[in-house]
Amino acid sequence: MNQKICVITGATDGVGLETARTLGKDGWTLALVARNAQKGERIATELRAECGNEDITFKQADLSLQKDVRRVAGELADSYPRIDVLINNAGAIFWKRKQTAEGFEATLALNHLNYFLLTNLLLDRLKAAPSARIVNVASRAHVGASVDFDDMDGTAVYKRCMGGWIAYQRSKLQNIMFTYALARRLEGTNVTANALHPGFVKTRFGKDNGGAFAVILNIGMRVSAISVQKGAETQTYLARSPEVEGVSGKYFSECRAVTSTKQSMDEAAQERLWAMSEDMTRGSQ
């Protein structure tokens, strides 16, 4: 198995799918992880034919549930002796507060704890690669956000006007803070970790919320959104470009490193988030 091995979450739609298409055409071995089994199997079949690449498989998991994250991580570890690239791409926005079956607020569970837990569970397989990369899809939506450590369950934020959007902003900030803290822990290893803003991309993102939010989102996408091909460029760049070999602990936009917010670079807050994330994922073992 000489070709690169890449795990992509949220890979059945949008920029995740486009990234899979690009890497699949380059002959990479791909594991596509998503919630909808029927759609996932169909996408994998279509990509195998389109890319002329039989090494594309689908793994089903509801990544908002830690039991599914642990199960799929085990399946991936059993399937691959190493993982060269992990792209944490799965995410969503919930306009109204939802709670998972495990008792976590859905935005936190899917957009942050999923990244944290899956990455840590796959670190041994990433370290088994000659040179591995972790790519965390964040967003410029983190600008203006701050983490409220006293409201990690979202009880207070969802009572505010635009609470769902604020919760989403916080989760994207958490993605970047997690990336920076992870990169510090990976210093001296063969694994790098970087985060990125894909741009405002014309996808199905947020459409399931319905109501006024979906209307506003649709208008915005028609007016100013970029194509999925353009939106996938930065994460594809981070996955395979020799220009970022050995680069770690950075935040990228339009295929270049840029500065994230002051809040995201607060190391004490990053470490507090890490410790809280450990506590929130420890109970699922």
How far is it, in rounded angstroms, from Cα 195 to Cα 218?
26
Closest CA to 83 of 1, 28, 6, 2: 6
How far is it, in rounded angstroms, from Cα 202 to Cα 200?
7
How far is it, in rounded angstroms, from Cα 36 to Cα 149?
32
Contacts of 269 (CB under 8 A, 6+ apart): 147, 177, 263
Give the angle subtended at the CA of 146 by the CAs of 154 and 264, to the nearest 5°. 130
| Cα 122 from chain centre | 14
What is the C-alpha end-to-end distance of the chain, expressed in Å?
Answer: 31
Give the angle subtended at the CA of 172 by the CAs of 167 and 178, to the nearest 5°. 120
On whether the CB atoms of residues 198 and 231 are closer than 8 A, the answer is yes
DSSP H or E stretch at residue 19:
helix 14-25
Using DSSP, state whether 157 is helix, strand or coil: helix
Q: Which residues are part of the catalytic machinery? A: 168
Contacts of 282 (CB under 8 A, 6+ apart): none
Contacts of 244 (CB under 8 A, 6+ apart): 133, 192, 194, 237, 238
